Amino acid sequence: MTRRAGIFTVVLFSLALVVSALEIYCRTPPDFRLPAIDLPKSSSMTLVFHGSVDADNPQFPRLIAALESTGRTVRYLRWDPWSDTRLRAAASAKQAGLQIADQLLSQLAPVLEGEGATTATTLELELIAHSSGAYVLDALCERLRHRAKTPIRVRMLFLDPFQIHGFVDWTHGAREHGHCADEAIAVINTDDPAPATNRPLHQARNIDVTADPRRSGFAENGHYWALEYLILEVGSPEFIR
């Protein structure tokens, strides 16, 4: 082996080690436990999730108010600060989804399985997430499908969903987001700087809002326009349950 070939081999091997280490890091969630969640004692509810470094986004209170104005029972569920390490956002979101599912099953057992409940009692969930919160929805739904003793119906609304899983798979979300849902809708903006949020989802009905004329009056970048679009349209036939 020539000296040049040897150097190339060492560099290639080093790069492979770095990529492998990053892949393991990005797929491993931090060790955390969400606090107890105040869930409504109801078999029908809407749960809303933020993305990375976004839990205090003032758009969310406006979204909650818009949803409640349609008669929905709504909870805004925070999963920060674990959401804020962007490289591990998908892994942290999945862990948060599993924990929220377990809390749902525990807190709602009296409603779904207790006195007055029947085998036909269905847990109806509308799950809404912006950006990396998309991975909360998938994990939450999968855990419920696996462990729930009563029927469940899940509707998902993805708002410019983040699609990177691990370090190298940048199209995972495009392939998989919404696969667990009975109905899935994705509101997509395609010209914003947020990485891996521009592809339509294979397992959802996609609404491309990039060219909506109302965007001209919206000051934030397009990644947040998808969230604003839902605030404006939540009472429209497109989104009414």
What is the average per-residue pLDDT within 112-135?
82
199 assigned to some structural domain? yes
Q: Tell me the pLDDT tens digit for each residue of 62-79.
A: 999 999 999 999 999 999
202 inside domain = yes
pLDDT band at 169, cuts 50/70/90? confident
> Which range (106-120, 156-170, 202-216, 226-240) has the least confidence?
106-120
Residue 241 lies in a domain: no
Cα 72 to the chain's mean position, in Å?
A: 19
Q: Does an H or E element contain 207, and which?
A: strand 205-208
Kindly indicate the confidence band of residue 10, based on its pLDDT and cuts at 50, 70 and 90: low
Q: Which residue has the higher pLDDT, 115 or 133?
A: 133
Confirm whether 238 is domain-assigned. no
Total length of the chain: 241
If one counts every other C-beta atom within 10 angstroms of the C-beta of residue 199, the result is 18
Looking at residue 85, the DSSP 8-state letter turns out to be -
Whether the per-residue pLDDT at 8 is higher than 80: the answer is no
Q: What is the mean pLDDT of residues 118-131?
A: 86
> Is 75 in contact with 46 (CB distance < 8 Å)?
yes
pLDDT of residue 85: 82
According to the model, what pLDDT value does residue 130 have? 98
- Residues 10-38, mean pLDDT to the nearest whole number: 73
pTM summary value: 0.89
pLDDT at 27: 74
Q: Is the pLDDT of residue 192 over 80?
A: yes
Domain-embedded: residue 240: no
| Structure token digits, residue 73 | 């029972």
What is the pLDDT averaged over residues 178-187? 97
**DSSP SS3 for 214:** helix
Domain of 36: which CATH number?
Answer: 3.40.50
Does residue 57 belong to any structural domain of this protein? Answer: yes
Query: Are 51 and 79 in contact, with CB atoms under 8 Å apart?
Result: no
* Domain presence at residue 141: yes
Domain that holds residue 104: 3-233
Is 239 a domain residue? no
Say yes or no to pLDDT of 33 above 80. Answer: yes
Short-list 189, 240, 184, 185, CA closest to 214 = 189
Domain total for the chain? 1
| pLDDT over 90 (residue 61) | yes
